[in-house]
């Protein structure tokens, strides 16, 4: 039995649909752990994230923890239940402060510290990323306004 042009066209379209669905499934499977905007120090400890895995660390900069030597910065990020020492080489954003919300991109090192490649600080006096605020509010550390 010979296929008509219409049947061939439908077969090609169906085949492409299957390939696209398979590709989307593979991409979502590969990114399932990276879809999270950030991890708090407690979540990093609980998740057992392997050293070198690129992630985002979010929380508050612990008061009196920031040490700066030229462009070398060391500070502690906490969420009320846990804390993690972060290291960053470079110029921090002007709005970086102790006691303020921060999200750092980088990876956990074998010694348990966090090596940041990028540091994001809040942009005005009232802003905190929703995910950071929700996490801190759940821990009972931050009581700021909604939104």
Tens of pLDDT along 27-61?
878 776 556 578 889 888 888 888 988 889 999 99
Give the separation between CA 68 and CA 74, rounded to whole angstroms. 6
Q: Could you tell me the pLDDT band of residue 104, with boundaries at 50, 70 and 90?
A: very high
* Strands 67-69 and 54-61, sheet pairing: unpaired
Q: Is residue 123 marked as binding? A: yes
More confident residue, 32 or 91: 91
> Contacts by 32-36 with C-beta closer than 8 Å and gap 24+?
none
Q: How far is CA 53 from the centre of its chain?
A: 11
Which contiguous run of DSSP H or E holds residue 132? helix 130-139
State the residue for tokens 């303020």. 100
Cβ-contact 88, 96 below 8 angstroms: no
Look at 16-20, 86-90, 123-127 and tell me which has the smallest mean pLDDT.
123-127
C-alpha angle 62/121/80, rounded to 5°?
Answer: 30
Predicted confidence at residue 23, as pLDDT, reads: 93
Which helix (H) or strand (E) segment is 73 a member of? strand 72-78
**88 bridge partner residues:** 73, 116
127 labelled binding-site residue: yes
């Amino acid at each position: 039995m010979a296929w008509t042009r219409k049947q061939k066209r439908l077969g090609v379209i169906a085949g492409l649909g299957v390939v696209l669905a398979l590709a989307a499934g593979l991409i979502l499977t590969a990114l399932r752990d990276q879809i999270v905007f950030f991890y708090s120090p407690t979540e990093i400890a609980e998740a057992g994230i392997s050293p070198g895995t690129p992630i985002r660390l979010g929380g508050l900069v612990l008061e009196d923890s920031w040490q700066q030597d030229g462009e070398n910065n060391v500070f502690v990020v906490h969420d009320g239940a846990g804390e993690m020492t972060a290291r960053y080489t470079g110029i921090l954003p002007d709005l970086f402060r102790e006691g303020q919300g921060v999200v750092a991109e980088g990876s956990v090192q074998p010694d348990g510290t966090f090596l940041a490649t990028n540091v994001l600080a809040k942009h005005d006096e009232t802003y905190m990323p929703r995910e950071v605020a929700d996490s801190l509010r759940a821990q009972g550390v931050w009581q700021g306004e909604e939104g």
